Structure 1
Amino acid sequence: MNNEIINQNTVRSEIPSLAIVVPCYNEAEAFSRGVTELSKVINDLIAKKKIKNDSYILFIDDGSTDNTWFQIKQAGEEMLHVRGLKLSRNQGQRVAMLAGLTSINTDVSISVDVDLQDDLNCIEQMIDKYMQGNEIVYGVRDDRSKDSIFKRNTANMFYKLINLMGVNHIPNHSEYRLLSKRAIHCLLEYKEQNLYIRGVLPLIGFKSDKVFYARQERIDGQTKYSFFKLLSLAIEAITSFSVFPLRLIAILGFGTCILAIISMFYGVISKIGGFAVQGWSSLIISIFFLSGVQLLSLGVIGEYIGKIYIETKQRPKFFIDETIGKF
């Protein structure tokens, strides 16, 4: 009986309005196919009465240097369910996504990349799970066979490392997700400049679920995530949610002190016993080792101090240069 009451309270009866939020940066080659396929999804869901007629696709131009914005404007003039928003300069995918989330007024949003590597069939599944009472629905890749061996292995290492550091993170989840209006409101309450959305969402704590899919190869254009951008993202994820690196420095410093004390006793005993070995090799190795540890420690501390410095300035995350469609 109690389960029946819970289910009746959580299952939704009114169909939602949907905004598909699509950040774009120099996606002129991929845009035409992307807007066509996403429009089909919107129209199909409206025809099935899964979403309301006022649902739409919001493209955010993240300071593109090609004609991406021109194509967005053209699509907005020709297609009923297309809107556009242009940032004044390139700010990065996550800031572009936040700009989109602050601009929408629908019951739910689904974020997806315009390259369509994420399976669009999952959008209907996400809507179904929202109707079951979920506030957040994660798109999770259960098949990474299309990724290179290097990317697949480094991704697995990252997820294991970040879990080891105590960060609540959804493995193999990127930016493909559904957020309810309630979840978006809570997400926007987090004011930090470098907002790692993937790590923040599990902290919100509302009812959530997952849909699984196989990520496809990119057909049009080129990926904007180089190795160094991915590395920067990993560092930001760790430093935004864990002080474990700072604790590791303290542990390493303590261990080094213990080794120094042991070495001191060994040196004294060797000198008294008359079997001290003359030479500079051990000294040079020790100097280089300790210098490396110190520089690495300063680098980690500097990363945290840099984040504090950026946060204290409280600069605006973005400025909107132009819009197309009704806001």
Structure 2
Amino acid sequence: MNKPVLTIVVPCYNEEDVFMETSTQLSHVLEMLIADSLISRESKLLFVDDGSKDRTWELIESESGHNSFVKGLKLAKNVGHQNALMAGLETAAKKSDCVISIDADLQDDISVIQAFLEKYWEGYDIVYGVRESRKTDTFFKRTTAVGFYRFMERIGIKLVPNHADFRLMSKRALEELFKFKETNLFLRGLVPLVGFSSAKVYYDRKERFAGESKYPLKKMLAFAFDGISSFSVAPIRFVTFIGFLAMFISILAGVYALIQDLLGHTVSGWTSLVISIWFVGGLQLLGLGIIGEYIGKIYFEVKKRPRYAIERDSFSVSQTNQQIKEAIGH
């Protein structure tokens, strides 16, 4: 079996504080994997600049001139982590046998990349990096994360618990992933749908090397809801259930009020009436809001707008030049 060409895809958004360290450490990993004959010498690091506002792209360009492993993909504007990651995967898959995706903050343990490759050599098409524990998280983040995975399981969405976007995928697994054309990407849910043989590698997550997290609470909640609404209509069914429940309670209340009126025990009920109106009005607004979210997703899906636009691509250009050199040599 020929040594596979590996590309490590690293989405970046304002990562100038951590870029050089990330590039150095991942380059060292590639050197070790090449020395152990696990990957080809043509393997690369592909940094995807997701419309950064700092010096991230300048650093990528500069490093690519000194480090033969480093290549860059500059997107025309910020399109979000998932779309930037997909851009990197689609670009890397053209010239790679397998691709590993990892965030730029060095929180994922890069030492287990060797274990990823060993699983690949064993015949696995997808290898998930799974956190051994969440001890480094705050109590709130740990509790909400556990609750999120349990909720997703209850509504029928199959995720790999404690897995983010640190994974290896073979070329054929990526080709199947690219057949999913939706605009609203939630790769943690899409990858398990691909199928093929998969394995898990457990590791302990580290503290962020430098800079600030790009996922504050607001973005985390939005990302979670995107995941739920992209794979399940459970929220709409929940609102429907609440609507039926409220209607049933209203009928009981109406029967009770009628009986009281017939018995001559009518009591002024202004407070209860106002509370009931507010309650039902709130349910209606909630229902409209959730349905609106789904309609909004449909709106963007049917437009079929491109997920991203590439401004510069040193990965494909470099590979093409290499092929030209090989052709001339022959």
Q: Distance in 2 between matches of 1:169 and 1:311?
A: 23
* 1:7 corresponds to: none
Q: Give the distance between the partners of 1:242 and 1:119, measured in 2 at CA.
A: 32
Partner of 1:96: 84
Q: Does 1:106 align with 2:96?
A: yes
Deviation at 1:280, TM superposition (A): 0.5
User: Deviation digits for residues 14-71 of structure 1, max 9, x if unmatched?
Assistant: 4311000000000000001000000000001001101011001000000011110011
Offset at 1:107? 0.5
Q: Which sections of structure 2, spanning at least 5 residues, go unmatched?
A: 320-330
State which of 115, 118, 124 in structure 1 corresponds to 2:114. Answer: 124
1:266-305 equivalence runs, <5 A: 266-305=256-295
Map 1:1-327 to 2 at 5 A: 13-104=1-92, 105-325=95-315, 326-327=318-319
The Cα of 1:276 is off from its aligned counterpart by 2.1
Cα distance, 1:259 vs. partner? 1.0
| AA aligned opposite 2:150 | K
Q: What root-mean-square deviation, in Å, do the aligned CA atoms of Structure 1 and Structure 2 show?
A: 0.9
Deviations 1:115-165 (A, max 9, x none): 111000110001111111111110011121111111111111111111111
The C-alpha deviation readout for 1:80-137, integer Å capped at 9, x for no partner, is 1111110000111111111111111111000011111100011000111111111111
- Residue-by-residue CA offset, 1:253-288 (whole Å, 9 max, x unaligned): 111121111111111100011122213011011011
Deviation at 1:323, TM superposition (A): 2.2
| Alpha-carbon offset, residue 177 of structure 1 | 0.3
Distance 1:47 1:241 in 2: 42
**Alpha-carbon distance in 2 for matches of 1:196, 1:35:** 26
**1:324 deviation in Å?**
2.4
Partner of 1:9: none
Structure 1 outlier segments of 4+, above 6 Å:
none
Identity between Structure 1 and Structure 2 (%): 46
Whole-Å separation in 1 of the counterparts to 2:2 and 2:156: 38
- Gap regions ≥5 residues in structure 1: 1-12
Secondary structure of 2:108's counterpart equals coil
What SS does the aligned partner of 2:118 have?
helix
Query: Matches of 1:74 and 1:47 in 2, distance apart?
Result: 26
Supply the distance in 1 between the matched residues of 2:104 and 2:243 (Cα, whole angstroms): 47
Name the CA distance, whole Å, in 2 between partners of 1:248 and 1:49: 53
Please give the alpha-carbon distance, in whole angstroms, between the structure 1 residues aligned to 2:44 and 2:211.
24
CA distance in 1 between counterparts of 2:145 and 2:155 reads 15
SS at match of 1:29: coil
TM-score by length of 2: 0.94
One-letter amino acid of the counterpart of residue 216, structure 2? S
SS in 2 for 1:126: helix
Letter in 2 for 1:100: G
Residue 4 (structure 1) aligns with: none
Letter in 2 for 1:35: S
Report SS of the residue matched to 2:18: helix
* Corresponding residue pairs, total: 315
